[in-house]
Amino acid sequence: MFEKPFAIGDASEMSTRAARATAKEYLAQISRGRHPKDERQTKRMSPAPAMPIGAAVANITLRQAWDRYLDAHLIRKNRSEKTIEGYRDHVERVFAE
């Protein structure tokens, strides 16, 4: 979709926290079909419609989301067993209620 990568900023002038925040915003714009550094495209495109309240996403439980994340992200990307156990601890113990 986008022909060449672009820089977020100069590492000597931007903290990693600021760079991550900017990158997240850029990714959100890209997911809506916008190029973050193309002002002409950003101005002429209308914003993406908001997802209606009560859409299908609301029907998923935390358990189902965790199972999907475990399979689709942690296992598929070969995360270490220690990493997986850390996530499992947080989801199953902290969110037990």
- CA torsion 35→41→46→47, rounded to 10°? 20
Predicted confidence (pLDDT) per residue in 63-76, tens digit: 888 888 888 888 88
Predicted confidence (pLDDT) per residue in 14-43, tens digit: 888 888 888 888 888 888 888 777 755 444
Are 37 and 1 found together in one domain? yes
Are 30 and 74 found together in one domain? no
Domain count, the chain: 2
Predicted confidence (pLDDT) per residue in 44-97, tens digit: 444 555 555 555 556 788 888 888 888 888 888 899 999 999 988 988 888 877
For the entire predicted model, the pTM comes to 0.38
Q: Which domain holds residue 70?
A: 56-94
Buried b (16+ CB within 10 A) or exposed e, 22-34: eeeebeebeeeeb
The mean pLDDT value of the chain amounts to 77
